[in-house]
Amino acid sequence: MRVKLLFFATLRDRAGIKSVEIEIPDHATVRRLKDQVAHDYPSLNQSMGTVLVSIDHEFAFDDALVPIDAEIALFPPVSGGDS
């Protein structure tokens, strides 16, 4: 199945692209998707352990299933500021 990936902030810089459509297996989980992104974009490999993922504008965890034609956004983890 095809999904659209959107890269944000430092992930966009490392990937060298803003978005891409990729093919993933049917019934893939977010974890499987992140593994594929790490393989297809080696510059993002280290980030996949802490990346935040949203599917169709809602945050998703590693065990969530990716629906057909999903729009998936990948965000680097948010760091806090001074208190």
The whole model's pTM is what? 0.89
Alpha carbons 53 and 34: distance in angstroms, whole number: 9
Domains and CATH numbers, the chain: 2-75 (3.10.20.30)
Alpha carbons 81 and 71: distance in angstroms, whole number: 29
- How do residues 12-66 score in pLDDT, each as one tens digit? 999 999 999 999 999 999 999 999 999 999 999 999 999 999 999 999 999 999 9
Q: Give the N- to C-terminal CA distance of the chain in Å, as an integer.
A: 44
- How do residues 69-81 score in pLDDT, each as one tens digit? 999 999 998 765 5
